[in-house]
Chains A and B, each alone.
Chain A
Amino acid sequence: MTHDANTEMDRFGVDRDQVKPRRKRRGGRGEDLMVPEAEFRSYYGRPIIKAPVWKNPDVPLYLFLGGLAGSSSVLAAMASATDRPTLRRASRLAAAGGAVGGTVFLVHDLHRPQRFLHMLRVFKPTSPLSVGTWILSPFATFAGLTAATEVTGWFRRTGNVTGVAAAVVGPALATYTAVLFSNTAVPTWHEAHRHLPVLFGSSAAAAGGGFGLVFASVADNAPAARLAVTGAVVELATERTMEHDLGMLADVYEKGRAKTLMTASKACLVAGAVGAVVGRRKRWSAALSGLALLAGSALTRFGVFDAGIASANDPAHIVVPQRERIRRREESTRAGSTPPDRRYAPSAGS
């Protein structure tokens, strides 16, 4: 039960706003509720599942850096093939920097960081974190080697080969983190398992393209701008769809810090995308747009992370959808057959 102050606060409801169910919510969009407004019972309003003990900002930053690195690696390989030296250089450095920085955050997030190599004991397809480790390790190696050849100018051909290898692995690094989040019991994450990969993938595109806009010359940055704008548009659309499909579970995106972060993220993405379309050919406006896109991408990860913590701490997110599930199942299997746990009970009992 002992955690850092942040977790402790979230978990034990000092921040009651995150734990208490709302009376009236989702103003004009009430008809979109996946489950109807329902009273629910709980054990003194306490959380039912444990909120992730992952550290903030380590994990959201790792997600952002992984996405940045993943999409940058593809940009770098393509820039190398199409002879865009400034974009190649920027993207290669972003890929390596993102991978190395992400690894540092991932290790720091461990509660026993000296044992980080235990991650490589096994390969477990059932564990997204294990798979992610095995994606990150080769990627960081390839991207690091590529960046080293870029900086030193030695073994350029080897650098091109390792750059392609990194680009093959890169996109997986950007999207596996969606599985990492959705393969938990956290309702807002788990129920978004069809949206999160697209959200994180497009967010990664916005970040990689944004980085290219900031650091590549205007002569080279057209592909970066295209990728960034595509990413931003898809991300905004996916985020909207996700909140719609989540129904009552989306309420965590509409209050508290998650709301602030997601709103800021949308503003940054819109500004960055518009800037990239309009001002790509001017150095300063391209750089500003790129920064906005990077910020938007990072803020999305922070917002999704915060929403998940709030969701885990809200017993309504567990009880109400699960009760609804039971109700539907009983309807479909039809009355008369009482659920197995009440085999001897009259169905009117509850």
Chain B
Amino acid sequence: MELKEKLVSSFLAFENKGNIDLDSTVHAIRLNAIQNFETAGFPTKKDEEWKYTNLKPILKEDFILFPNAEKSVGFKNIKDYLINDIDSYTLIFVDGEFNSFLSETTHEDCDVCVMSSALTRPKYKMIIDNYLNTIANKNNSLSELNTAFVKEGAFINIPKNTIVPKPIQIINFSTGSEKEVLLQPRNLVVVGENSHVQIIERHQNLSENTTLTNSVTEIFLHKRAIVDYYKIQNDTNESSLIDNTFISQKQQSVATVSTFSFGGKITRNNLEFYHEGEHITSNLNGISVLNEKQHVDNHTLVDHKSPNCESHELYKGIYADKSVGVFNGKVIVRQAAQKTNAFQQNNSILIDDGATINSKPQLEIFADDVKCSHGCTIGQLDESALFYMQSRGIPVKEAKALLLYAFGNDVVEKIKIPQLKTLISKLIAKKLNVQLGFEL
């Protein structure tokens, strides 16, 4: 059976198994979503938005849709994937199930807990009804698929005037103990007025089996809220990820999403920002360092609807072997959005002849008093810089690695959590075979 049919036909059983009230909003949302998915199906290369990323090969697997949690996963199995030297809240999911033993949640000043509990507890009904699936793009059939099976994920609710004292780490592990696994985590983040939170999200396959993750995250920022969201994508070559992240911002809020892609088979990031007020800032940073046949597709949208807002987008990529990068950056500046500042930059370096980057800036500007720019460079390493380094005794291979490391550095510099900055530096250095020095 094709994956689509398999998903659609399992929907009823999924609904009956859960303890969701049939009168609830959630039920209505799921039902509507499965119908949309059934109509639209999986995107194909014929869709303009999927021109450069072909999902077909990864959808052929006979996925287990509802895997059972692997009980044997303990701290020692996962500790390498956590940032251990910071105090943090952690939400650990194993094969789609929440693992409370390995996690650290809170309900004290804010709620850092899980979707399954939020969906069923009356206390959270209002939040679920007001926010869940309100900004997820209904034209995105993968997001609809996730919505149809919404069940588990991170639920983060920060009341107003709260600075969450430590970062939140959300990590989705798959153990593949039952061969190919499809995971569909669903995260909801609501940040109240004047509040601030830092979140680190990661997906990690602990087995050699195939994993496909279709994740949806909705983030809401109220007035003057600040959210720093970091995505670490360094999974095995058998793992694919479709990440759909939707962000709604009220006035004077600042949302920053940084995406670090170093691994995985196919990674598709759909990242969409919607402005609902003035003086909003949206920052989108990304760095991809790929080799072998890895494929990363960054599809971003910033929708400027109101005046006096800004967006800053910087994506860098280093592509070796037969790896493929895609950058599609869409910026819409609507007629009302006067005095918008929208900047976009995509810089890529192709190391090998077999590597590919498809870079597509897409600016749709309907207002006349705006500052918008986009820049796209695709190049090789600077020969004069190489000679300079060689003349100081650094062999050409090491010199290249050091230059590549340096190329990505301005994205790394934007990371606001020092321990995370160190980790990302190390991951990049490892991938490029650079020996890092020390700082004075």
* Chain A bound to chain B: no
